[in-house]
Every structure is written in C-alpha cells, then in structure tokens.
Amino acid sequence: MTWPDGRVERFGTGEAPEEAIHITDDSAVKALATRPVLALGECYMDGTLVVPDDQLYDVLAMLVRNQRMGGMPAWFNAYQSTRMAARRFVQRNDALRARKNVAHHYDISDDLYRLFLDEDMQYSCAYFARPEMTLEQAQEAKKAHIARKLRIEPGMRVLDIGCGWGGMAMTLARDFGAQVTGVTLSQNQHATATKRAEAAGLSDRVKFELRDYRKVQDNFDRIVSVGMLEHVGLPHYGDYFDKVCDLLDPDGVALIHTIGNVEAPSPTNPWLEKYIFPGGYVPSMTDLMPAVERSGLYTQDIEILRGHYGPTLHHWHLRFEENIDKVRAMYDERFVRMFRFYLVACEMAFEEQWQAVFQFQLGRKQYAVPKTRDYLYGPAEQPAMRAAE
C-alpha cells in the first residue's frame, strides 16, 4: 500500500519493535557500549545482535529518533567532533585510492545488482512522479527529468561522469541522438556498459572509458553526473567543479545529481565507510557551494528531491529479499546480513534523517537554460523519442 503522502509502506512502522532483540555474546555488549554506531552493524553482521528481519527498520528508526532527541554521552559527541575534524584527511581520494574504493563496492558482482535493481540497472535515486509508479517507471522518469534539464539536441557531445552500467548514456544516445562518452573507475561496470551498448547497436554513438574524470580532456556540450559526487571526497570538490567548468562548452549545461545532507555537515557513518562506501561522503550545501562559486560555473538551478530515495531503497530491499536464496548461493550469511543492513539503514536515513537528493544545474552562462521551470513540467510532447522520429 501507499501512505497518503506518497510513501511506500515498508517492513516496519518505525515504532518500537514488537519482538525482543537478542544479544548472543558478551563481547557485543562491550562493543555496543564503546563504539555504538560501528558496532551496531558489525554485531548484526556477525549474528551476535539478533533482530527479526521484518523489524530491522523499526530498531534503526527508534535508535536514530532517540539520538536526535539529544542526551548522548560526552565521549560520543567528542568522538563525532574528532571524526568531523578528520574528514579532509580521511577522504583524500587520489586516483589510486579512488579506483580501489570503487572496486570495493561496484566490482563485487554484476549478478548481485541485477537481483534488486531495475532492468536498466539504475543504481541511484528514482523519481516517483506518481506514488503508484513501479521501480522501472520511476527510474525512467528520473532519466527523463534529467534529460529535460540538460536540454539535449541531436548531435550534441555529452560526458557522463561516473556512468555506472551505462543506462543514462545509452538513453541519451538512443532517445536524443547524442554522442556520449561515459567514464567509470569500475572494471565490471565498464565491461558491462560496453557490452550493453554493442547489444543495443549504439556503439557508434556511445563509448565507455575506464578513466578517472580528472584525466578527461576535450570539450562537451553537456555534462551529466548521477550518483558520483558522493565518491569524490571533501578535499576534491574544488577539483571536481573546476574540471566540470573546464570541460563544459561556453554555452553548455551540466546536471549534477547527488545525495545531499540538508542540515549542517556531519561525518560519514563509520559502518558505511568501512563496509560499503570507503571514501564516501554525503555533502551539505555548505560543503559544495564554495567550490561551485569558485569554479566559474553559473548556478542556474538547484532542486531538492525529497521523498524519492526512501521508496527507491525500499523497492531494492524488497527485491533483495525476494531473491534471498540466490544471494545466499553467491555469498555467505555474513555478507547477506551486511547487505540487508545497508539497504535498510539507508532507507531509514532518508526517511528518518535529514537526507535528500540535490540536482545542480550548472553552466558558464546565465541564459544557457530558460528563465523558468515551465519547460520541465509543461504538456510538451514526450522529448525522449524525438531523435528517433
């Protein structure tokens, strides 16, 4: 079912769990008392913290709500402050470290991701223009929304920074007639994207390169980057936006889509940093805007997408659980619990914490895009097939 405000009903309610939580080892008690955020996920992975699968969301939501009420011990607040101060050092993602961090998450197995992503393998926030949309429909809507903001015309040269498995690049080439270059640091994604383009007969319009965005040369009419900025690292935002400006044509448009923190900056969750996204960081506006302002880019529009990533993650979680036997045939039980914890914890973060998605529309000139958003939402003919007509 769907809530009146459009939220998808999830495994739990966010209320106190109905069944008991069991701790099966005394070492877990000590770990949870001394390093609660990291140990919570580790103990769940190890099985020393037993939570009914359908109430994991409830447990995490309850803990987060209690934490936000305040009253955390002084040592915990001091620990958080230390981690905040160390962000720039920890997130130094030079080319070698960036490639290693990407491989940690994206090069484990395409077969795993196929079990819970949509058919196009979009591994970023979908766009639920209508609450009843399927995951496939919402991911198509996300790509269409981004494409409208890019104002792409046939023959335009487009750079896709962090192209994933190639879905966005192929859409822009197939449906808009663009010439697209996608870059990624993931060997698996590069190989899969290349095969997908060949199978779709798009190799003459799309090419994928195993390359760091900092090594890209040339100029492009359009630049798109979806779900990659989270991996750049706080010390490198200046490099990132400077590079976007350098690569973008004077009349060009860039669309940067990233998870964002809508409150003051905070350090990355230590469990996510260790097990899921090493080097990852969710930026606040105060982290990003100084770099944008110094880059020479004109901020044409900023849109905050709220209430979209929680349902996206819920769909992924549902599909993960539906295919749990296949996952268990591929990985051990500790990995299964790790990935379940990751999906549920991230869904909880978007529903219970101050996280959303930022879409920055950037250019080098003020009037590179229309002055109003009417072109995005008007009853215009579907632009996504005009190149094929």
Q: Are residues 268 and 349 in contact, defined by beta-carbon separation less than 8 angstroms? A: no
Q: What is the pLDDT along the chain (389 residues), one digit of tens a residue?
A: 333 344 444 555 555 555 567 888 888 888 887 888 898 999 999 999 999 888 899 989 888 887 776 655 665 565 566 665 556 656 667 777 777 878 888 888 899 999 999 999 999 999 999 989 999 999 999 999 999 999 999 999 999 999 999 999 999 999 999 999 999 999 999 999 999 999 999 999 999 999 999 999 999 999 999 999 999 988 999 999 999 999 999 999 999 999 999 998 888 889 999 999 988 999 999 999 999 999 999 999 999 999 999 999 999 999 999 999 999 999 999 999 999 999 999 999 999 999 999 999 999 999 999 999 999 986 544 444 443 33
pLDDT given for residue 100 in this prediction? 83
pLDDT given for residue 12 in this prediction? 54
26 vs 191: CA distance, rounded Å: 46
pLDDT given for residue 86 in this prediction? 59
pLDDT given for residue 385 in this prediction? 41
98 vs 224: CA distance, rounded Å: 19
pLDDT given for residue 27 in this prediction? 84
pLDDT given for residue 88 in this prediction? 62
63 vs 57: CA distance, rounded Å: 10
pLDDT given for residue 65 in this prediction? 83
Which residue among 43, 125, 163, 346 is the active-site one?
346
Tokens 């990624």 belong to 184
Instruction: Map residue 326 onto helix, strand or coil.
Output: helix
Per the annotation, the verdict on 125 as an active-site residue is: no
Q: Are residues 315 and 264 in contact, defined by beta-carbon separation less than 8 angstroms? A: no
pLDDT given for residue 191 in this prediction? 97
377 vs 306: CA distance, rounded Å: 17
pLDDT given for residue 266 in this prediction? 86
241 vs 225: CA distance, rounded Å: 11
